[in-house]
């Protein structure tokens, strides 16, 4: 069977761990060359070694416009274009409305909203007509998970961008879609528990909220991102594809 991304150049932000790393691996398996970004250099370089010679690691904070300018200058030199952009970098921490600090609010919006916006804006000159953009939101774009209000709001904003950009980029035949994972077993999810016992309980609690009765694996998101990034989804635009074991729909 022919590969779905043969000869394509892909950028995966936050590609050093979790969903981003799994997707970068899938992109390469489908014939693409991939650039992965993240803030921690060692994590990123280990990931690039794990993916193999088709991967390049470039340290960049998506929330920093200077870092993004540097990133795109390097990609321009290296590959000259970006056919597939997976804006995946992001994260959040628990805090109820009474406890959210200005710093936490700004950090979360910088990574998840400002970061996604300028990651896409500044990539546009490198994306050829017919390119694809996939944004990583979350089921929380349509849910009010308590003590997660700032994160929930950032993901609703990400979902909104895909609607507007589908219209704004249609003349260039650039398709924009959102993948919205349910609970997925990643280092990011592990970071939400203080210790092993808390993590186990947290994951078991989440699994109970999923009709399929379990939390998901990063590769289950990666497969969906390949679909949205490739020609298999040629008439799919502006959607939010929930990959959540039925959590939102059932």
Ligand X SMILES: NC(=O)c1ccc[n+]([C@@H]2O[C@H](COP(=O)([O-])OP(=O)(O)OC[C@H]3O[C@@H](n4cnc5c(N)ncnc54)[C@H](OP(=O)(O)O)[C@@H]3O)[C@@H](O)[C@H]2O)c1
Residues taking part in catalysis = 151
Q: Which of 5, 33, 55, 62 binds ligand X (CB under 6 A)?
A: 62
* Residue among 27, 156, 7, 166 nearest 90 (CA): 156
In angstroms, the CA 126 to CA 198 distance is 44
Are the CB atoms for 240 and 141 separated by under 8 Å?
yes
Q: Which of 9, 38, 149, 159 binds ligand X (CB under 6 A)?
A: 38
Is 89 a binding residue for ligand X by CB under 6 A? The answer is yes
In angstroms, the CA 201 to CA 212 distance is 18
Which helix (DSSP H) or strand (DSSP E) does residue 225 occupy? helix 218-229
What is the x/- site pattern for ligand X, positions 191-230, by CB under 6 A? ----------------------------------------
Which helix (DSSP H) or strand (DSSP E) does residue 46 occupy? helix 41-51
In angstroms, the CA 205 to CA 221 distance is 21
Is 17 a binding residue for ligand X by CB under 6 A? The answer is yes
In angstroms, the CA 147 to CA 99 distance is 9
Are the CB atoms for 131 and 206 separated by under 8 Å?
no
Q: Which of 39, 81, 114, 223 binds ligand X (CB under 6 A)?
A: 39
Is 23 a binding residue for ligand X by CB under 6 A? The answer is no
Beta carbon of residue 68, minimum distance to ligand X (angstroms, whole number): 9
Beta carbon of residue 237, minimum distance to ligand X (angstroms, whole number): 21
Q: Which stretch binds ligand X (CB under 6 A): 82-90, 94-102, 168-176, 232-240?
A: 82-90
In angstroms, the CA 113 to CA 63 distance is 8
Size of the site for ligand X (CB under 6 A): 30
Beta carbon of residue 206, minimum distance to ligand X (angstroms, whole number): 8
Q: What is the binding site for ligand X (CB under 6 A)? A: 13-14, 16-20, 37-40, 43, 61-63, 88-91, 111, 115, 136, 138, 181, 183-184, 186-189
């Amino acid at each position: 069977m022919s590969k779905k991304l043969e000869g394509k150049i892909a950028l995966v932000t936050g590609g050093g761990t979790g969903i981003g790393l799994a997707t970068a691996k899938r992109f390469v398996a489908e014939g693409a060359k991939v650039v992965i970004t993240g803030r921690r250099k060692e994590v990123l370089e280990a990931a690039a070694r794990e993916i193999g010679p088709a991967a390049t690691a470039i340290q960049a904070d998506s929330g920093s416009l200077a870092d993004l300018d540097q990133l795109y200058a390097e990609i321009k030199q290296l590959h000259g274009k970006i056919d597939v952009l997976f804006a995946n970098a992001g994260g959040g921490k628990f805090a109820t409305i009474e406890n959210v600090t200005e710093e936490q609010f700004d950090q979360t919006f910088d990574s998840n909203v400002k970061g996604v916006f300028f990651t896409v804006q500044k990539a546009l000159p490198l994306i050829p007509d017919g390119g694809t953009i996939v944004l990583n939101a979350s089921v929380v774009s349509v849910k009010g998970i308590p003590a997660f209000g700032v994160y929930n709001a950032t993901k609703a904003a990400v979902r909104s961008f895909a609607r507007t950009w589908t219209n704004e980029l249609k003349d260039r035949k650039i398709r924009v879609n959102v993948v919205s994972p349910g609970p997925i077993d990643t280092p990011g999810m592990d970071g939400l528990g203080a210790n092993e016992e808390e993590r186990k309980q947290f994951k078991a609690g989440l699994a109970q909220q999923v009709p399929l009765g379990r939390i998901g694996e990063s590769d289950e998101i990666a497969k969906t991102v390949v679909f949205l990034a490739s020609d298999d989804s040629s008439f799919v635009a502006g959607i939010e594809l929930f990959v959540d074991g039925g959590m939102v729909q059932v």
